[in-house]
């Protein structure tokens, strides 16, 4: 009996040793190899790991590595600036790594104002924003694309009106009388209105912050420089595209003023015993009478044909933006056409283009906000005969009537045309010539009823028979 137990114990121990030896045999495989680049130079510090495992190794000064794994495992080799490779584990592997062109060739286009440089070579305070990183959504002015995208760049919209532009500050206020905005350079042309270029045509924006980066532009770059690059690049192969972009947006006031309703006003008057307060019998929410849910939409279609030697691009944009205040809206029709041609075996390049914007909008009279809070909620919008109800005084006009009968129309036309020639004299030396024409004109017309043409007030009786139109026009060219 004792012998039988001893035999069974010996067999169990023998079986466990066989399993252990089998497991060690499966795991104990040493893969070796050398990691080199396309020039057969060893890559020092390349990472070698077992796919799906936790074992890893690093190549030595000669690019050699040794790693423990199972026979038949896959090894993954990675190195900064090179594409990852996967190979089957073996002895004496010779692994050639390929460079990652996307990582190594990343450049800031016109990043320093006079050419192209690798990002690793930049020394000045320069920020670059490409089209994918720019602000998305409802864009009424081009500068809004950079809102919140660049540290130190302040972009503040002047008001909530759809036609309002934005102020750009890169180095704060530097002048009491001159402009404090940065210099805008579009495709190498300095001093351009940033809104002359449509957002859909912009490939990248480079912001030169410090003095060394903007030194090439002299005193004009004292407030910083924004360099805009548009869709005008060539291609090694023929590329023909038709693209449509559009959106529909809904806007409303996030919060309104907490004013008394008509019933709350009456309760307050009764509680205070004010015998002089007049109750006109209506229940009017002046904010609701002036505000709306705004619906805006934008449509852009562009056509392009690009080759290495020549190409063109045409774009058409239509925007219709509504404000949350009734009658406040802006329409924009914009078009652009650009082309390029190369010659002299690629040493000469000609670029030409035109950009035109046509804006029309109805601004609001800011007095309606004061009147909206001055008039009590029991005062009606209309009289029983359908005319607008009015109170005597200069600060108590009916804001609805003021918004509807005081009509102001404004139109703005922007035009930019340019011709650019670049000649490569020798490698590293390029001569550039730019010529451009820019026009910016604004025309406004203001129409008032006769009652608004005088400082005092007159009775509203018969106002439809006593209407006077007073046009006020101005035309400015820049």
How far is the C-alpha of 109 from the C-alpha of 459, rounded, in Å? 65
Task: Give the position of tokens 């906000």.
Answer: 369
* Res. 242 pLDDT band, cuts 50 70 90: very high
Tell me how crowded residue 9 is: count the other CB atoms within 10 A of its CB. Answer: 10
Tell me how crowded residue 423 is: count the other CB atoms within 10 A of its CB. Answer: 15
Which pair of structure tokens corresponds to residue 10? 């010996």
Within 308-366, where are the H helices? Answer: none
pLDDT per residue over 420-438, tens digit each? 999 999 887 889 888 989 8
How far is the C-alpha of 376 from the C-alpha of 381, rounded, in Å? 11
Question: Lowest mean pLDDT: which of 22-26, 104-108, 305-309, 385-389?
Answer: 22-26
Q: Is 408 helix (H, G, I), strand (E, B) or coil?
A: strand
Bridge partner list, 117: 108
* Res. 239 pLDDT band, cuts 50 70 90: confident
| Confidence at residue 461, expressed as pLDDT on a 0 to 100 scale | 38
Average of per-residue pLDDT across 84-110: 75
* 138 and 321 Cβ atoms separated by less than 8 Å: yes
Length of the chain: 478
DSSP result, 424-471: EEETTEEEEEEEEEEEEEEEEEEE--GGGSSSS----TTGGGS-----
| Confidence at residue 108, expressed as pLDDT on a 0 to 100 scale | 46
Q: What are phi and psi of 367, to 5 degrees?
A: -65, -20
* 125 and 210 Cβ atoms separated by less than 8 Å: yes
Q: For 122-146, what is the HEC assignment?
A: CCCCEEEEECCCCCCCCCCCHHHHH
| Confidence at residue 9, expressed as pLDDT on a 0 to 100 scale | 52
pLDDT surpassing 70 at residue 7:
no
| Confidence at residue 451, expressed as pLDDT on a 0 to 100 scale | 57
Nearest to 295 by CA among 326, 258, 339: 326
* 399 and 286 Cβ atoms separated by less than 8 Å: yes
Most confident of the following: 229-233, 238-242, 349-353: 349-353
Model confidence pTM above 0.85: no
How far is the C-alpha of 444 from the C-alpha of 147, rounded, in Å? 29
SS3 content of the chain, % helix, strand, coil (to 5): 20, 40, 45
Residues 6+ apart with CB under 8 A from 449: 405, 406, 463, 466, 467, 468
How far is the C-alpha of 318 from the C-alpha of 153, rounded, in Å? 29
Q: What are phi and psi of 212, to 5 degrees?
A: -65, -35
Q: How do the domains of the chain map onto residue ranges?
A: 2-101, 107-230, 239-465
Which pair of structure tokens corresponds to residue 120? 């690793």
End-to-end CA distance of the chain: 115
Distance of CA 322 to the CA centre of its chain: 20
Does the domain at 107-230 match CATH 2.170.130.10? Answer given as yes
How far is the C-alpha of 260 from the C-alpha of 374, rounded, in Å? 12
* 89 and 75 Cβ atoms separated by less than 8 Å: yes
CA distances from 165 to 144, 235, 410, 444 (A): 9, 36, 14, 17
* 431 and 423 Cβ atoms separated by less than 8 Å: yes
| Confidence at residue 264, expressed as pLDDT on a 0 to 100 scale | 93
Does the domain at 2-101 match CATH 2.60.40.4130? Answer given as yes
* 337 and 313 Cβ atoms separated by less than 8 Å: yes
* 394 and 372 Cβ atoms separated by less than 8 Å: no
Distance of CA 26 to the CA centre of its chain: 57
* Res. 345 pLDDT band, cuts 50 70 90: confident
Computed over every residue of the chain, the mean pLDDT equals: 79
Bridge partner list, 359: 332, 412
Bridge partner list, 433: 421
How far is the C-alpha of 382 from the C-alpha of 300, rounded, in Å? 42
CA distances from 106 to 110, 121, 204, 407 (A): 13, 11, 13, 52
């Amino acid at each position: 009996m004792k012998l039988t137990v001893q035999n069974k114990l010996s067999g169990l121990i023998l079986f466990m040793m066989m399993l252990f030896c089998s497991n060690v045999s499966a795991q104990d495989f040493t893969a070796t190899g050398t990691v080199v680049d396309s020039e057969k130079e060893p890559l020092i510090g390349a990472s070698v790991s077992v796919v799906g495992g936790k074992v890893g190794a690093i190549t030595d000064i000669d690019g050699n590595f040794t790693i423990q794994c199972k026979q038949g495992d896959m090894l993954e080799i990675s190195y900064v600036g090179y594409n990852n490779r996967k190979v089957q584990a073996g002895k004496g592997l010779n692994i050639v790594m390929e460079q990652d062109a996307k990582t190594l060739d990343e450049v800031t286009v016109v990043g320093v104002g006079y050419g192209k440089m690798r990002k690793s070579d930049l020394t000045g305070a320069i920020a670059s924003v490409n089209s994918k990183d720019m602000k998305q959504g409802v864009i009424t002015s081009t500068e809004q694309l950079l809102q919140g995208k660049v540290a130190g760049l302040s972009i503040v919209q002047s008001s909530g009106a759809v036609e309002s532009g934005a102020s750009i500050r890169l180095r704060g206020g530097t002048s009491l009388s001159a402009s404090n905005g940065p210099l805008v350079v579009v495709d190498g042309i300095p001093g351009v209105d940033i809104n002359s270029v449509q957002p859909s045509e912009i490939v990248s924006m480079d912001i030169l912050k410090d003095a060394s980066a903007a030194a090439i532009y002299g005193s004009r770059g004292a407030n910083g420089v924004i360099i805009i690059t548009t869709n005008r690049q060539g291609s090694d192969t023929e590329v023909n595209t038709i693209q449509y972009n559009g959106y529909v947006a809904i806007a409303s006031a996030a919060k309104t003023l907490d004013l008394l309703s008509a019933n709350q006003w009456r309760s307050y008057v009764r509680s205070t015993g004010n015998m002089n307060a007049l109750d006109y019998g209506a229940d009017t929410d002046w904010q609701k009478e002036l505000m709306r849910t705004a619906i805006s939409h934008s449509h852009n279609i562009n056509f392009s044909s690009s080759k290495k030697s020549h190409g063109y691009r045409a774009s058409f944009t239509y925007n219709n933006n509504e404000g949350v205040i009734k009658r406040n809206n802006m329409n924009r029709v914009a078009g652009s056409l650009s082309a390029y041609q190369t010659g002299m075996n690629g040493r000469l390049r000609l670029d030409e283009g035109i950009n035109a914007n046509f804006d029309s909008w109805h601004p609001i009279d800011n007095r309606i906000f004061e009147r909206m809070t001055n008039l009590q909620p029991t005062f009606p919008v209309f009289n029983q005969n359908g005319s607008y109800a009015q109170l005597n005084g200069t600060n108590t006009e009916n804001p609805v009537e003021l918004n509807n009968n005081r009509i102001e129309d404004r139109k703005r036309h922007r035009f930019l045309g340019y011709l650019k020639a670049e000649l490569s004299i020798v490698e590293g030396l390029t001569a550039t010539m730019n010529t451009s024409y820019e026009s910016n004109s604004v025309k406004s017309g203001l129409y008032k009823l006769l009652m608004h043409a005088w400082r005092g007030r007159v009775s509203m009786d018969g106002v439809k028979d006593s209407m006077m139109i007073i046009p006020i026009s101005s035309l400015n060219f820049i």
